Structure 1
Amino acid sequence: MRTDRAQRRPEIDRLATLAETLATLLEAGIGPAPAWSYLAESTDDPFAASVGRGITSGDTVVCAIMSGRDDPPPRVREARAALAAVWWVATESGSPLADCLRACGESFHRQGDTERDIAVALAGPVLTARMVSFLPLVGLLFGMALGFDTLGTLTGNPVGWALLSGGALLMGLGAAWNRRLSHRATPSGSAPAIELELLAMALAGGAAISVAREVVADACRRFLSGGRDSVPAIERVLELSARAGIPAGALLRSEADRGRRESRSAGQAAAASLAVRLMLPLGLCVLPAFMLLGVAPLLLAIVSSTFESL
C-alpha cells in the first residue's frame, strides 16, 4: 500500500481503463492479440507495452500478462493475476471476452475507489504519527538552542549514554509500532469476491455449473494465491438459484457487490480506528523518548553547569 498511495494514479485504475479499452476493441471485431498490440502502440502504459511484446514474441495472452518484466507492489501483482484469471475463464468457458473484460474493469474501478477512500482516511493519522515521532529530536535541539550542551551531556558520561541508548531504543520501537499499526489498517489480499465474479463469467458462456466451477477452480489454482474464502457464499447462492429456479449469474454478481461493500466498510472502519490506536506508541514510546533525549539531558546540563559555577 505505501507504493500504491505514492502514485498519482493508482495502478488499479490504469488496469481498469486497460480492460475497458480492450473490451471496446474486441467489440469492434479486433482479435485479442492485435487488440493488445494496438493498445501497446497507443498508450504509454508500461504494462500494456510489456504484454504486447510478450505476445509478439510468441507467448499466450495469459502468459504475457503474468510474466511482466517489472516488479510491481503485491496488490498490483494480485490485480494483474485477477485480469489473467478473467481472460483464462472467458477463454475456457466460451463466455464473451469483451463482456468479461468490462465486468473486470468495473470491479477494478470499485476496488480503486475503496483504496482511495482508505488512503484518504489513513493520511491524517499516519502523518500525525510521523510528525510526533520527531518530538524527541526536537527536544534535544531545543536544549542546544537554549545554549546548553545537551548532546555533550548525552555522550560525555555513562548516565548520558544510558539516556541516549534508551531514547534511541524507544524511538525505534515507536516507529516500528506505528508502521505495524498502519500496515494492519491497509487492505490486503486480492480483489474481494473475485471468485464469485469469475463463476458468473463462466456461467455466462452457457457452461453447466459443475463445468464452470471446475474452470474457476483451475483459474484460482493457476493465478490467485489467496484462499478460496468465497466457496461458502457460492454454495449459498447456487442453492438459492436452484430452489428459486432462476439463473445464478445475477445472484453471484449481487453477492460479489455485497462482498466489495463489506470490504470497503471494513477498511474505512480500520482506518478510522487507527487514529485512536496510534496513541499507544505515542504514550508508551515517543513521550518517554522525549523525556530521555530532550528533558533529562537539559536538566543534567543545568545541574552540572550550576555546580560548576559554585
Structure 2
Amino acid sequence: MNMRQLEAFRAVFRAGSVSGGAALLHTSQPSLSRLIADLEASIGFALFTRGRRGMVPTIEGRLFHEAVEKSYLGMERLRDTARGIAESRDGEIAIGSIPSVAQSLVPRALTGLRDASSNRRIHISVGTAPALINAVLLNDIHIAVVGATVTLQDVETVFKIEFDGVCLIPEGHPLAGSEAPVDIMEMDAGSFVSYDRQLLEVMRYAPSVIDHIVANAAVTSNSTPTLVAVSRALSKPAIVEQLAIKTTGLTEGLVARKILQTSRHGLALVKRPDRVLPPPAQQFATAFQNIVTRLFEGGADLTDGARSLSASPPHSF
C-alpha cells in the first residue's frame, strides 16, 4: 500500500468510475485500474464492485474510505502547519498584551526581532486578560502577555512570575521616612490613591482590605502610569504593584515601601496548547522572559527606593 494507490482509490470513490477517477488524476484508465487492483491485493479485500453505474464501493470499501479520509485530513493539517511556519518567517506574527506592559516590556522584547532585510510584520493587540486569552484560543494571536493571577487552565503557560503589591510614597510625606511596611487599614480617607476594585481583586487582596481601599482612596484607576502621576501631583501615596517601579519611568521623587497586607500580582506568557509557536514568536517569548527575570534576578527587593530604580538606563533591563 502506497500513496499513489490511496490517491487512486480516493479518486475512483469520488468520481464513481475509473474513467472519472483517471480524469481527476490526469492519468490513464488502465494505470488507475492497476493501482486499485494492487491496493486490493495488498489489503486483502475488494474495495469496489463493478456494475452498470460504474464502481460501487463495498461495505469494506466505505469503511476503508473513512479511515483514508481521516489520514488525509491529518496530512492537510501537517501541510497547513508547515505553510504557517514557512510564512511566519517573513509574514505577520500576532502578539497580545495587557495595557500595563504594552508600552514598556513588550517593546523591549521586540528589539531582538528587528531585521532590516526581513519583510516580517508584527501586530500587537492590547486588551484585557480574558479578551487576550480568548484571542489565543481562537488562533487570532500567537502569544499573549496577561496577568498571572487570572484563570489560565485553558491555555498553556510558557512563562510565569508573581510579585507583591507596593506603596509609592512622595518624598517629604510622613510615611516616606519609615522603613516599616505600610498598613493599608490605617490609611485615612482621602489620604492615598489606588488601583480600582477590579485590579485589587486580581491582586488577591482580602475582601475587607479591598472594601477599605475603594471606600477611602482619593483617586482610583486601572492605569499604573496615571496613579504614579497623580501620586506625585497630589503628594499622596499610591497603592500599586512592584513592577510599576521598573516600567513607568515616572517615579522620580517617590520612594517605595512594602505593604503589610498580602497580595499577589504577576505576568504570564500564554499560548494555545496545541499550537506550535513560529520562530519569531518564540524569540519574543524568550526575550520577554529574560527581561522580566532580570528585573527580579536574585530575588532583589524592589522596595529599596523608587527614585534610584527609575534612574536606571533602559538597557539595564
Q: TM-score, normalised by structure 2?
A: 0.22
TM-score (norm 1): 0.22
Which structure is larger by alpha-carbon Rg, 1 or 2?
2
More helix by share: 1
Specify which structure has the bigger relative contact order, considering alpha-carbon pairs within 8 angstroms and separated by 6 or more residues: 1
